[in-house]
Amino acid sequence: MKVTEALVAEHVVLHNMFDYIERVLPTVRTVAEVRLLAALIEGVLIEHARAEESLLFGPLAHCLEQIGQRDTFELEHHEIDACLSAVARARSIREARRLLNAAIVACRNHFDHEERVVFPLAERVMKGETLAKLGAVWTKQREAAVA
Ligand SMILES: [Fe+2]
Ligand SMILES: [Fe+2]
């Protein structure tokens, strides 16, 4: 499996999780519950973001630089982290819900941006063999995380 395929598959799983959270969020009654949902997203996203940064953004840095987007995607990761952390500081259920919704929208836009720019770029400039090797590294990292 190519690393780009693995990362897109993770986006699909995350979109499904966001769909569920968006459905239940209006029924959640306490800030503590919203914080738990934010922590869940944070926990899943961290491994995904780490894999992207080491397996794609690093090797593609010079190509991303040429299109003026060298730091864009890592910056978006930091912005999403900041949005999710802000949920922990919310003082009302209304504010917590608004912040979590904003974090989910930021994630969805970020995934879309990667799927339009980074993954097609990787498919263009990297050999199929390289993408498969990086996919094998991704699999090893996931297996290590489960173990
Ligand atoms: Fe990302
Ligand atoms: Fe991603």
Q: Given this model, what pLDDT does residue 112 score? A: 97
Q: Given this model, what pLDDT does residue 145 score? A: 80
Q: Given this model, what pLDDT does residue 96 score? A: 97
Which residues crowd ion ligand 1, with CB under 5 Å?
Answer: 52
Task: Give the ligand with the smallest distance to the CA of 111.
Answer: 2
Q: Given this model, what pLDDT does residue 117 score? A: 95
CA of 23 to the centre of ligand 2 (A): 22
Distance CA 88, CA 36 (A): 9
Contacts of residue 42, Cβ cutoff 8 Å, sequence gap at least 6: 81, 84
């995607």: which residue's tokens?
Answer: 73
CA of 42 to the centre of ligand 1 (A): 12
DSSP 27: G
CA of 130 to the centre of ligand 1 (A): 20
DSSP 30: -
Q: Given this model, what pLDDT does residue 147 score? A: 81
In contact, 3 and 48? CB cutoff 8 Å: no
Distance CA 123, CA 111 (A): 16
Model pTM score? 0.93
What φ, ψ does residue 68 adopt, rounded to 5°? Answer: 70, 25
CA of 36 to the centre of ligand 2 (A): 22
CA of 111 to the centre of ligand 1 (A): 6
Distance CA 94, CA 84 (A): 15
User: Counting beta carbons within 10 angstroms of the beta carbon of residue 73, is it exposed (0 to 12), middle (13 to 18) or buried (19 or more)?
Assistant: buried
Q: Given this model, what pLDDT does residue 113 score? A: 96
CA of 83 to the centre of ligand 1 (A): 14
Give CA angle at 119 (116, 121), nearest 5°: 90
Q: Given this model, what pLDDT does residue 70 score? A: 87
In contact, 59 and 119? CB cutoff 8 Å: no
Provide block-wise average pLDDT over 10 residues at a time, the chain (147 residues): 97 98 97 96 94 94 92 92 94 96 97 97 96 96 85
CA of 146 to the centre of ligand 2 (A): 20
CA of 29 to the centre of ligand 2 (A): 30
